[in-house]
Amino acid sequence: MSDYLAYFQQRAPEMVALLKRLVLFESPSHEKPLTDAISAFVGGLCADLGATVEVFPRAEVGDIRLARWNEGAPGQPILILAHLDTVWPAGTLATMPLREEDDVLYGPGALDMKCGVVVALEALRGLRDRDELPARPLWILFNTDEETGSQHSRELICTMAVQAGVVWVMEPAADGEALKTWRKGIARYTVRTTGRASHAGQAPEAGINAVIEAAHQALTLHRLNDLPNGTSVSVTVIQGGIATNVIPPEATLQVDVRFLKASEAQRVDRAIQSLGPVLPGAGVTVSGGIDRGPLERNEQMLRAFGQAREIAASIGLELREGGSGGASDGNFTAALGIPTLDGLGAGGLGAHAAHEQVHLRTLPRRAALLAKMLRDWDMARL
């Protein structure tokens, strides 16, 4: 076994203890006092590890903390992203208690992503105790609203990411402790059709049927699908009409779009923005657009993953690739062109589900991997 693996294996009890402490902080995204509490606690741990910790106050969600090591060192910073909020409402611990059984820890937010916070802190601690901190700035940004879309942290994440050479996201690992080298991006649209109301019995010919117009638009939208290439265009909600005996004057469609490639986002966006009416006299207006770009499995991603895989191999770990249809904060940074690796957290099952669990034996392996990546990463190879 490598020196690194053996070193972090010895730290397993401390890692598990810290993970339990973090899970006992319930931290739903929209409960500011609760997310403030865990943010302050984690900021304190970083300060104990020698970081300079900056607080970015937020009025509606928990304060963001940015921990920096090696400020002033040469070289581009590595930015690590970790969110402290969970999808679970306050009080969930009463029905879904923290529970350790064999090698598994159950509890709300344990996997997504309190285990990732533990891995990041432990990697920093290990490097510091071994006197192996690399000669470059290391940043960890802890936000508190990822699970609800990062509206209050997206700008800061992007501001820090463009100054960094690489971004690593502590979301849970994919199956088999794989990194996530792709995530789909999201676009959302509302398509509103307008027609003309008229009595459905007395003068149907005088009306313009906005529901029929919406039906035409729904079929046009459906034809934009390219599922083999990972692009889905789903009309998910349709509403229209005002009464059974009235030709409907208006209708709306809601559209959910997911894509693996930025080029696909552009193709679909152009098509949707240029939708026009089919029925004479009808109107079509489109609102919405691209929300998050994809974490794209492009050349840059393959180079970044290749380097991570080599570093993993140097400590005897085989690193695989995986992905996710869901988005993370990594989507924002990848869309800016910053090399982004995701899924550096621990292994487990059931994120956002009642059986959420962390497989504890993966914790030391992930800390060893992250520590070695922090020490050995070569920005010039990106």
Instruction: Please report, as ranges, the residues that interact with Zn ion according to CB under 5 A.
Output: 112-113, 171
Instruction: For the CB of residue 352, give the shortest distance to Zn ion in the complex, in Å.
Output: 9
Phi, psi torsion values for 349, nearest 5 degrees: -145, 155
Residue with the closest Cβ to Zn ion?
A: 112
Between 152 and 192, whose beta carbon lies closer to Zn ion?
A: 152
Burial class (CB in 10 A: 0-12, 13-18, 19+), 288: middle
Shortest reach from residue 27's CB to Zn ion, in Å: 12
Q: At its nearest, how many Å lie between Zn ion and the CB of residue 171?
A: 5
Tell me whether residue 30 or residue 136 sits nearer to Zn ion (CB atom).
30
Please identify, using beta-carbon distances, which residue of 171 and 321 lies nearer to Zn ion. Answer: 171
Task: Report whether 88 contacts 108 (CB < 8 A).
Answer: yes
Amino acid at 113: M
The DSSP-derived string for 362-380 is HHHHHHHHHHHHHHH--GG
Closest distance of CB 326 from Zn ion, Å: 9
The nearer residue to Zn ion, 137 or 330, going by C-beta atoms, is: 330
Q: Give the shortest CB-358-to-Zn ion separation in angstroms.
A: 13
Q: In this complex, which beta carbon is closest to Zn ion, that of residue 15 or of residue 344?
A: 344
Provide, rounded to whole angstroms, the least separation between the CB of residue 89 and Zn ion.
Answer: 16
Nearer to Zn ion, 213 or 356 (CB): 356
CB of residue 85 vs Zn ion: minimum separation in angstroms? 9
Residue among 124, 121, 116 nearest 23 (CA): 116
Residue 276 half-sphere exposure, CB side, CA atoms within 13 Å? 3
Q: How far apart are CA 91 and CA 180, in angstroms?
A: 31
- Tell me the residue type at 297: R
**Among candidates 139, 145, 98, 122, which has minimal Cα distance to 11?**
122
Sign for the CA dihedral angle at 351, 53, 157, 139 comes to negative
Say if strands 52-56 and 64-69 run parallel, antiparallel, or are unpaired.
antiparallel
Residue with Cβ nearer Zn ion (145 or 171):
171
